[in-house]
A and B are shown apart, each in its own frame.
Chain A
Amino acid sequence: MRTDAGSRGGLKIPDDSVIAWLSANVLPHEADVRAWLRRSGLSVLDPDDLIQEAYARIAASPGCTQVQNGRAYFFATVRNLALEHFRRARIVRVDAMAEIERLRIEDDAPSTERVAFGRIELARVSKLIEELPNRCRQVFVLRKVHALPQKEVARRLGISENTVEKQMVKGLRLLLDRLARGEAGGNSPDLAGTHERQKVRRRDRTRGG
């Protein structure tokens, strides 16, 4: 249906401005989108699949970096993907789909998280890196914070380049996992985290009522 593939069989990876935009406007909201998917009872769909497809679609849409509200755009894209999945399904979960529609208001809500994220970004990144397992963190700090080439990191730590690579992959995956779960707090991580969780619970209660 989609024509993501370039003419020579490969996919043109979007330029760095798109990735930077995703990093600042989409990724920070992934935990909220996932929480929203869980609440909406769409357990028949794999949220990981939807999220991955959403990144692909957003990055492929022309002019996405001009979008002001990345959060709303992310929600809308996931919702559209979910609707497409449901329409293709042999058995259609109609009530869940109606639920998706009802929930669309949520992405228009003023995003305090978004505002907050801009401010606490640095602390958040710092915390994410700090919480990596020891060896993984060492490698990650040299490679990302000090921006050393892979070879140099391997030399300094007396490990193989292959090990550096493995640790970086591990670190990156842990980072993604944390972001997906919304575990990374801000300046006062515990407070920020608690606040967000309470908010989610409150919403659950309101909806369940």
Chain B
Amino acid sequence: MSDRKSAEEIEREAAEWVVRVDSDPALAPQLEIWAAEDPRHAGAYYRALSAWRLADRGRALGHTFAARQASGTSRRALIAAAAGLAVSVGAAGFGWKVWLDGRGSLRTAVGEIRWAPLADGSRAALNTSTVLDVSMDAASRNIDLQSGEAWFDVEHDPSRPFVVRSGPVRVRAVGTSFSVRRYGDDFEVIVTEGTVEAWREDTPDRSAVKVSAGRRVSLPATAEPEVTLSPTSEIEGRLAWRTGMIALEGRSLREAAEEFNRYNGVQLVIDGDDLAEKRIVGWFRATDVDAFTAAASIALGVQVRKTGNTIILSSSSDDGNVSPAHQPL
């Protein structure tokens, strides 16, 4: 890629060819060799030649033209840069008035995302299929994450440590923001602000790892905790569920399907290992499987088959290069 000629360089060369061949048609064979080197060469040449042709129309303006003074340079067109794929965050699901005094339980159904204020002023966001028990008193703040995933924005209170327990895993914070995810016997903690301590009760020494903002730690049953420093974009992506989104930052199609399957009754199946390993990027509404499958069918040229509650994505039977909907005109 690095030795690839820039579009600007090609554009300059093309403009030179146009001017030179116009005054010396004998150069045409050399031009044709240059143009054959790269489709962009040819394209840039046609483009420059089109503008050259456009300028020929100036002939109709005749000799009055030359006498005129140049007018001031026109203002730059300030076309507002595209907002691009600005993700519009839906307000649905927010503002739940679940106020927990003392004890209580919070749960979400499949596909449901729920934000809940807690009695101490902290906030919790529950991802799909999550069950959470809360118990707070004057000396402690305890959360039991039975299943699923939750993110906490913890109100600072040194006299009452905020402890999330999930199976054998413990995460302790004072005032910070972090998420805990339980899948089977594996656990993952992501810290977005401050520092937490995390450990497993079922290890011999119960030693805690300190995890600070911008890092995540996985606490598997069979191995040592592993702390990973994550770029902000990755952290944001992994917590995109808080706004009902799935962020696929370079994840495989297989992982993408697993993500969507967490949120939806309809289950995605990827047919073929090559296809399943294809890496993709994109933000989607977690419950909008159709948008995802439509995008995948366009982007990867995959076939989409629906049978009952299952959607199967498979490589197209033909070369997979051009799907029927996207034939050139």
Q: Which residues of A contact B (CB under 8 A)?
A: 2, 4-6, 9-14, 18-20, 22-23, 26-27, 30, 35, 38-41, 43, 46, 48-49, 51-61, 67, 72-73, 76-77, 80, 83-84, 86-87, 90-101, 121-122, 125-126, 128-134, 137-138, 140-142, 144-147, 149-150, 165, 168-169, 172-173, 175-176, 179, 181-183, 185, 189, 193, 197, 200-201, 204, 207-209
Contacts and interface: CB of A to CB of B under 8 A. Distances in A.
B46 A14 contact: yes
B84 interface: yes
Given A53-B43, A150-B23, A11 B36 contact: yes
B70 A132 contact: yes
Contacts of B299: 83, 86-87, 92-94, 97-98
Given A94-B299, A183-B76, A125 B32 contact: no
Interface stretch (B59-67, B148-156, B174-182, B218-226): B59-67
Interface in B27-43: 28-29, 31-33, 35-36, 39-43
Nearest to B53: A23
A87 B295 contact: no
Contact of A97 (B42, B65, B298): B298
Contact of A55 (B23, B47, B292, B328): B47
A86 to B, nearest CB: 6
A51 B35 contact: no
B196 interface: no
Contacts of B321: 84, 87
Contacts, number: 276
Contacts of A145: 58-59, 61-63, 65-66
B70 A144 contact: no
Interface of B: 7-8, 10-12, 15-16, 18-20, 23, 28-29, 31-33, 35-36, 39-63, 65-66, 68, 70-71, 73-74, 76-86, 88, 248, 250, 278-284, 291-292, 294-296, 298-301, 321, 326, 328-329
Given A122-B57, A176-B11, A176-B15, A94 B295 contact: yes
Main secondary structure of the interface of B (DSSP, over half): helix
Nearest to A170: B15
Given A57-B39, A92-B300, A131 B74 contact: yes
B51 A172 contact: yes
Contact of B55 (A38, A175, A204, A208): A175
Given A52-B44, A145-B62, A176-B11, A209 B295 contact: no
B88 A27 contact: no
Given A133-B70, A197-B78, A55 B43 contact: yes
28 contacts: A5-B36, A10-B33, A11-B42, A12-B32, A13-B31, A14-B46, A23-B51, A27-B51, A38-B84, A51-B43, A51-B47, A55-B50, A56-B41, A56-B42, A61-B328, A91-B279, A92-B278, A98-B299, A122-B61, A131-B71, A132-B70, A137-B70, A141-B58, A172-B15, A176-B48, A197-B77, A208-B86, A208-B88
B58 A129 contact: yes
In the complex, which of the residues B32, B294, B296 has the most CB atoms of chain A within 10 Å of its own CB atom?
B32
Contacts of A168: 19
Contact of A6 (B32, B41, B51, B59): B32
Contacts of B47: 22, 27, 30, 51-52, 55, 176
